[in-house]
Structure 1
Amino acid sequence: MMIRATLPLLAAGLMAASTAHAQNVFDYPQTDDAPATFHVVNEIPAGSFTKYEIDAEHGQLIVDRYVTMPVRYPANYGSITSSAGGDGDPLDALVLTRDPIYPGAVIKVKAIGVLRMLDDGETDDKIIAVPADDVDPTFAEIDEMDDLPAMEVERLNAFFRVYKDLPDGGDIELDGFGDASKARDILSSAFEAYQSAE
């Protein structure tokens, strides 16, 4: 008798679950103190030569392509949630960590700079970040690009100079690094643009 009474409730619950829609991870809310700290959803783990990408429409992680040059991503690469860049897409971020981050995981970070970049003539800046102090205190004293070892900065530069070279990879132009303050200005504008578009 108890089983018969439970079955309709179970069926109703399953129907409700099947019609529920998962939240798009790009809409994951930002921190209360953004842009001092902010959330990044990771797509590509540091050390990978597979370019994973989260499909904005469906939220599914897909393999977009493989890097054709003999280089690997020097940092975790992802998208800043609840942000909209000039093209309407979430801003890109490179996150330096002690261990690669799984694709799809969200991490709270702080900006230490921005890599100024043009991709086929369009602005394609990359916010450079490290984990927020309460996520990994190892990076608590890293607040600017100048706080990083020079070789770490050169690895970032070198990767983006060559990663699209083959075949028909497009035209990449690097324009140096902006400081943490410039990165936060870009973040503030992107968070405002996202709110305005809702």
Structure 2
Amino acid sequence: MSYTVEERGSLNGLNYRLFIKNADGKYVSPFHDIPMYADEGQNIFNAVIEVPRWTNAKMEIATKDPLNPIKQDMKNGKLRYVANVFPHKGYIWNYGAIPQTWEDPAHTDANTGCNGDNDPIDICEIGTKVCSRGEVIRVKVLGILAMIDEGETDWKVIVINVDDPEAKELNNISDGYLDDTVDWFRRYKVPDGKPENKFAFNGEFKDKDFAIDIVKSTHNSWKALISQEPNPGKLSW
């Protein structure tokens, strides 16, 4: 399935929205309508790019808006940007989310002891290409990092685009780029006056099989959400 994007408003403006359309030109939700799997038999997942590598605007799927467009996050009435954390410029990977997943804020994760962050599960795509905002790519999972963000479980799944030239050589987390990722997530909020982020497992990455199990568990949480077993609150489904 191929997807296109439709941008409305001004980039880095309060009115900016990016909508996704399917091959038939119909609007789809990147949270609910794009399948989690691109190839279930091979454990290949779809990923929606929210933030292209080297950019600073904190873009995210708007889980509370109809059709869940991508828009810039706000805090205290101001658009949010991540600072440049030396020696890095903006986000150091293509950053996004796996559709049809949800980190349930009412569920206490047995691995971290913290509840979910109420969002789709995040991905860090480490391939060589700089992706476009709203691009839907096929990825394979390499591993996962358990970040604790202000008391919430915020899993970061390390993936690579299956079409990347390096994809055939990278098959597990030990093959990836680890130190920079932990360093970035630890320090990226410090310029805003916040303390360094914490991690479960002493900041160690868990391997591919562990990561895939976590992704599947968040998919089960999403299925419960759209059946309205948990109270969806303000989420738009």
- Bin for the TM-score computed over the shorter chain: 0.7 to 0.9
Residue 186 of structure 2 aligns to a residue whose secondary structure is: helix
Q: What is the one-letter code of the residue matched to 1:195?
A: K
RMSD: 2.1
- Name the counterpart of 2:137: 107
Q: If the length of structure 2 is used for normalisation, what is the TM-score?
A: 0.67
Aligned to 1:139: 167
Counterpart of 2:218 (choices 186, 190, 195) is: 190
Q: Show the 5 A alignment for 1:12-51.
A: 22-27=27-32, 28-31=34-37, 32-33=39-40, 36-51=43-58
Q: Secondary structure at the match of 2:143?
A: strand
C-alpha contact (below 8 Å) 2:29/2:69 kept by paired residues: no
Give distance in 2, aligned partners of 1:153 and 1:145: 8
Structure 2 Cα separation of the partners of residues 104 and 117 of structure 1: 24
Aligned to 2:96: 78
Deviations 1:76-103 (A, max 9, x none): 1101101112334210111112111111
SS of residue in 2 equivalent to 1:126: strand
The yes-or-no answer on 1:90 pairing with 2:120 is yes
Deviations 1:43-70 (CA, angstroms, capped at 9, x unpaired): 0111112211221224333222111344
Unaligned runs of 5+ in 1: 1-20
Quote the sequence identity (%): 29
Larger RCO of the pair (alpha carbons < 8 Å, separation 6+): 1
Aligned positions, number: 174
Aligned to 1:61: 70
Structure 2: gaps (5+ residues): 1-25, 74-79, 106-117, 227-237
- Rg larger in 1 or in 2? 1
What TM-score do the two structures reach when normalised by structure 1? 0.79
Instruction: Report the 3-state secondary structure (helix = DSSP H, G, I; strand = E; otherwise coil) of the residue aligned with 1:182.
Output: helix
